[in-house]
Amino acid sequence: MGRRTAIVAVGQTDFVSRRLDVSMPEMIREAVDRCLTSKGLDLHAVDAIVVGNMELFEGVNHPELVWVDAIGAAGRPLFKINTGGTVGASVAIMCYYLVSSGMYERVLGIGYEKQSEGESQSAITTVGDPVWERSVMAGAIGNFAVMASTYVHESKVTPEQAAKVAVKARTNACLNPHAHLKMPDITVERVVNSRVLALPLRQLDMCPTSDGACAVLVAAEDDAQRLTPKPAWIAATATAHDQQFMGDSPRRLADMRTLQTVAASVYGQAGITNPVRDLDVAEIYEPATYAELAMYENLGFCAKGQGGVLMDKGVTLLEGELPVNPSGGVLSTNAVGATALVRVAEAAMQVMGEAGEHQIPGARTALATGYGGNAWTEGLILKGDRP
C-alpha cells in the first residue's frame, strides 16, 4: 500500500436538463471553482489534473485540449481517462493512484457532461463492436430492458418493488440542492403507470439525462488534514471488467460478476464482513430501478433474489439501516461523465459530514460504485477515520 490518501474537497454544479446559460468550459469551471474555494484554495494548490467524460456525446474530440483552461491543466500534468459510464469512478481511482504512489501531492479529478448538446442515445450505440453489435442495438434503454427482463424472470421482483426505488431516489433528491429530478409528489402508483419505454422499464424507472460537472481534490497524509479537518480517507479501490460482447454475459443484472468481484475486493481491503452492518451509507451507480435491486444482491446487502424484499423492508431508505443514494442517485441526476464521480463525491461528503440536508448522521464508512459499458464496475470505500 502507498501513502494514506483522502478526498479533501468536492464541488458540483447544480444538475439540470439543459445548461443553456453556460458553455461547456464555463460549466466545468463552475465545479472546479466550487471544489477548490470550499477549502479556500485555488488552482495554484493543484499539482496534476485527471479528467474524463463521454466524448462522443458532445462530439468534441480531445476535449482536454479544447477546454484546457477550464480544467486548469495549462502548464500542469494532465491525464485523460475514458472508460464510459464508469469514467468518474476511474477518475477518482486514478487520482488515488497518483497521490498514494507519491508521484503527486494534490490531484484534481473532474468529470462532466452536457447531454443536452448531443444525441446520447445514438452516440452510446457506438460503444458496440462495429462488426457484430451495431446493426442490432436498441440504445441504453432497450439494452437495460433486456437485462432487467432476465433479472425479473429469475428473482420475481415486482414492478411495485422497483417503483419504490424510484420513489426513494426522487424523494431523497429533494434534499440535495444539486440534484436534477426532484419529485416530492412521486408515488409507487405514478411510477407503475408512467409511460412504457421498453418493458419492464417505464419512464420513471430510468435515469434522466442531465448537464453538469463534478470535481474532487485528492491529497495525502498530513497535507490532507491540513487542508480539511475531516478528510474522506480512501480505504479501498477496485475495478473489474467483463467479456468482449454484450451477449457473453447475458445475466449481467441477475448475476453481476464484475460487481461481485469488486465488492469482495473492497470489502476485503477495508475489513468489511457484513456490509449492511459495517457500511453507514452507499452511493451506487443505479441507471434503472431494477438495476439497484439487483445491485443490492450482488453487493451482498441481501441474499440472491431478495433485492425487492430488502426494498420492501425499507433498509435502504434515508432513515434505514443502510441508506442507499441519499443524494437521489443516478435515477435523479445523470450527466454520464460526471455521474460516477458524483457517487464518489457524495460518499466523501457523507464521511466528511458535509452532505447538508441529506447527511446520514455520524456516517464514518461509505461505499461508492461506478458502472458502465459491458458491466465494467468500480468501487471505493471511504472512511472518516484516518487508516
Partner 1 sequence: MNSPSDVIRLEYHANFEYDYAAGKYASTFMAALRDTAMLLGTRCTNCSRVLVPPRPICGICAAPTSDWLQVGPRGTVTGCTVVEVPFIDPMTGVQRPVPYGFAFIKLSGADTNIYHFLEESRPDKVRVGMTVEAVFRETRTGSLADIVHFRTVEGVS
Contact 371, 147 (CB under 8 A): no
Q: Which stretch binds partner 1 (CB under 8 A): 27-35, 125-133, 186-194, 271-279?
A: 125-133
Helix%, strand%, coil% for the chain, nearest 5 = 45, 20, 35
Letters for 272-291 (x = contact with partner 1 by CB under 8 A, - = none) are: --------------------
Letters for 130-169 (x = contact with partner 1 by CB under 8 A, - = none) are: xxxxxxxxxx-xxx-xxxxxx--x----------------
119 binds partner 1 (CB under 8 A): yes
305 binds partner 1 (CB under 8 A): no
How many residues bind to partner 1 according to rule CB under 8 A?
A: 43
Alpha carbon of 305 to those of 62, 146, 153, 182, 315: distances in Å? 44, 18, 10, 30, 16
Alpha carbon of 250 to those of 91, 178, 255, 264: distances in Å? 28, 35, 9, 21
Grid coordinates representing 216 are 474532487
Q: Which stretch binds partner 1 (CB under 8 A): 2-10, 190-198, 217-225, 326-334?
A: 190-198
Question: How far apart, in whole angstroms, are the C-alpha atoms of residue 39 and residue 36?
Answer: 6
Q: Which stretch binds partner 1 (CB under 8 A): 95-103, 238-246, 299-307, 320-328?
A: 238-246
Torsion, Cα of 6, 293, 314, 317 (10° steps): 40
Q: How far is the CB of 150 from partner 1 (least distance, A)?
A: 4
Find how far residue 376's CA is from the centre of its chain.
Answer: 13
Q: Which residues contact 182 (CB under 8 A, 6 or more apart)?
A: 170, 173, 174, 176, 328, 332
Q: Which of 66, 74, 196, 303 binds partner 1 (CB under 8 A)?
A: 196
300 binds partner 1 (CB under 8 A): no
Q: How far is the CB of 247 from partner 1 (least distance, A)?
A: 4
Q: Is the peptide bond before 200 cis (omega within 30 degrees of 0)?
A: yes
Please state whether 9 falls in left (phi above 0), alpha (psi between -120 and 50) or beta.
beta
Q: Which stretch binds partner 1 (CB under 8 A): 226-234, 240-248, 265-273, 361-369?
A: 240-248
Q: How far is the CB of 49 from partner 1 (least distance, A)?
A: 24
Q: How far is the CB of 246 from partner 1 (least distance, A)?
A: 6
Strand runs labelled E in the chain:
5-12, 48-52, 78-81, 107-114, 196-198, 201-202, 211-220, 232-240, 281-283, 365-372, 376-383
Contact 375, 250 (CB under 8 A): no
Question: How far apart, in whole angstroms, are the C-alpha atoms of residue 127 and residue 82?
Answer: 12
Q: Which is nearer to partner 1, 247 or 387 (CB)?
A: 247
Q: Which is nearer to partner 1, 241 or 364 (CB)?
A: 241
Question: How far apart, in whole angstroms, are the C-alpha atoms of residue 34 and residue 57?
Answer: 25
The footprint of partner 1 on residues 53-72 (CB under 8 A) is 59
Q: Which is nearer to partner 1, 201 or 352 (CB)?
A: 201
Q: Which of 201, 238, 240, 368 binds partner 1 (CB under 8 A)?
A: 201
Contact 211, 113 (CB under 8 A): yes
Q: How far is the CB of 212 from partner 1 (least distance, A)?
A: 18
Q: Which of 38, 121, 158, 194 binds partner 1 (CB under 8 A)?
A: 121
Question: How far apart, in whole angstroms, are the C-alpha atoms of residue 125 and residue 255?
Answer: 23
The footprint of partner 1 on residues 13-42 (CB under 8 A) is 20-21
Q: Which of 38, 82, 125, 194 binds partner 1 (CB under 8 A)?
A: 125
Letters for 68-107 (x = contact with partner 1 by CB under 8 A, - = none) are: ----------------------------------------
Q: Which of 305, 302, 333 is nearest to 320 (CA)?
A: 302
Q: Which stretch binds partner 1 (CB under 8 A): 89-97, 176-184, 191-199, 355-363?
A: 191-199
Q: Which residues of this chain interact with partner 1, rule CB under 8 A?
A: 20-21, 59, 119, 121-122, 125-126, 129-139, 141-143, 145-150, 153, 196-201, 243-248, 250-251
